[in-house]
Amino acid sequence: MIAISRRNFLKTAGVLGSVAVAGNLAGCAPKAGGEDNLAATGDQGSSENATYDIGETKDCDIVVVGGGMSGLAAAVSASETGKHVILVEANTVTGGNGHGTEGIFGCGSALQKELGINFTFEDVIGAEFNFFNYLIDALAWKDLVEASAGNIDWLIGNGVQFDGVDNYRGQGKLDAFHWYAGGAAEGYINPMTAKAEAQGVEILLSTRGRQLVSDGTGVCGIIAESSDGTFIQINSPGGVILATGGYADNDDKLREMGIDPERVSRKGFPCHEGDGLDMAVEAGGVDERHKRCVMREPGTLGCDFESAFGALGIHNGGPVMYVNQNGERFTNENAIAGNAAFAANCILGQKRSFTIANTETMALIDATVPPIADSLSKAADEALQDSEKGVYRADTIEDLADQIGVDGPMLAAQLARYNELCTAGRDSDFGKETEMMVAMESGPYWAFEHGLFYFSTIGGIKTNRKFEVCDADDNPIAGLWAVGTDGCNLYGDTYTVMMPASCMANNINSGRCAGQAAIARCDA
């Protein structure tokens, strides 16, 4: 049997207009009571005839919609000079998808200098150019990299704590990953929330942004809905910063992107319904989702992320065979060694797909990789008892094909071909590394139907270098910014981790910049 390098197998085991304002925006100061108190909108984007009866009015300087990582950065930034900021957050706590993050990208930080880590923007953009075939916003990357060290200093000054810098467990090409001390909640979310409150930010939890408000010259507020059903109009002459974290929880929006929600297991924080996208488009902004991506990893349909079948389990590359709905092998199964998103991309190209293994292969995986939760073999035995989980076992490959609904002769022929390549020690079909080519000559055979773990959508609202929301003619919509994953322009169809936590760096940079711009608008 070919020995499998623990180092290679574990390479990714840690992975995780002038002014253009639409006519149906609400007026800035409706009268209390009566029909003048109603604002036309589309409830969750579904009905343009829906109305909101305003039960409460608040006044402030700047509104931030969404209290995740970028929203907290925006709120802290916007309140630095004493401006009254209101932050509305749909969840019962701040942090959003940031609760699942671990650190932030940086270039030239004090922490890196202390460790002798030295690289330049040229190193960063060269890798990204090559990955995206130059179809990339290099100016957005340049702005991000040049601001990253100062942003980390700013975070430290606001109480954020870091405890190390590396290349994110071997996934990154550069030592750019700054780890939050104690995790995201302890290292970032709690201190930034405390800083925002100390600077007078009014945080409205369990409150969802519903519709932007305009005074005819730009955005000057928002209508929000509290958990008790009360609609609140918040007037803000400095404008509105959208930081709602994308649309990963919205089935309709996923279908519009060609994604079957039934094959998706959401692992991000809840309440990401695309509210920011809907409000931006209503205001004259542009939906650019088709240009952007989703942060996702492969797993077994119906199984937990933390289980042996999660993104860190059997789908983490290795000595297995991937087949599609026709029973055909279709890729290098170790694509995930370069990037967890690569394996997800492979799966997305198929209507259905499966990991094929046998008992010996699973025992080899158990012996090579420390268990994520249970051993793979034990977890597989238990999962067989649950019909809602995509786990199957049969003594013969033909019987397995019958169970998973693929062509039996085709699957048998593909396995025979795979075994021949393993014996030859060369994958002349798809180029998988020799050490990952382990023959599966006898049963029992296992199949694990692929699903996708979705963490966050990335991008969708068209923005410029100042993070202003723009119309189809690239004119900024006055008083409206989209930050964080709502308006991220760094990536095309795939989120890369070559520059680990660059998305987080964008969250902080965009939130901080938009906060300062909103202050300037207040003072103008």
Q: Whole-prediction pTM value?
A: 0.86
Instruction: Give the length of the chain.
Output: 524
Dump pLDDT digits (tens) for 306-332: 666 665 456 566 789 999 999 999 999
The C-alpha torsion from 506 through 507 and 513 to 518, rounded to 10°, is 150
DSSP for 13-52, please give it.
TT----S---TTSEESSPPSSSGGGEEEE-GGGS-TTEEE
Distance separating alpha carbons of residues 197 and 182, to the nearest angstrom: 21
Dump pLDDT digits (tens) for 36-88: 222 333 333 333 435 789 999 999 999 999 999 999 999 999 999 999 999 99
pLDDT attached to residue 11: 31
Dump pLDDT digits (tens) for 423-479: 999 999 999 999 999 999 999 999 999 988 888 999 999 999 999 999 999 999 999
Dump pLDDT digits (tens) for 84-115: 999 999 999 999 999 999 999 999 999 999 99
Edge-to-edge, what's the strand order for the sheet holding 62-65? 202-204, 85-88, 62-65, 240-242, 476-482, 468-470
SS3 assignment, position 229:
coil
Domain coordinates of the chain in residue numbers? 41-292+459-523, 304-454
Residues 457, 463, 466, 468: is their CA dihedral positive or negative?
negative
pLDDT attached to residue 356: 95
Architecture of domain 304-454: Alpha-Beta Complex (3.90)
Burial of 67 (0-12, 13-18, 19+ CB in 10 A): buried
Residue type, 320: V
Region 41-292+459-523: CATH code: 3.50.50.60
Q: Do domains 41-292+459-523 and 304-454 have the same CATH topology?
A: no
Dump pLDDT digits (tens) for 196-247: 999 999 999 999 999 999 998 899 999 999 999 999 999 999 999 999 999 9
Residue type, 273: E
Is the confidence at residue 149, as pLDDT, over 70?
yes
Given a contact cutoff of 8 angstroms between Cβ atoms, the answer to whether 368 and 6 are in contact is yes
Please name the helix (run of DSSP H) or strand (run of DSSP E) that holds residue 105, with its range, or none.
Answer: strand 103-105
pLDDT attached to residue 259: 86
- Bridge partner residues of 213 (DSSP): 26, 221
Given a contact cutoff of 8 angstroms between Cβ atoms, the answer to whether 104 and 508 are in contact is yes
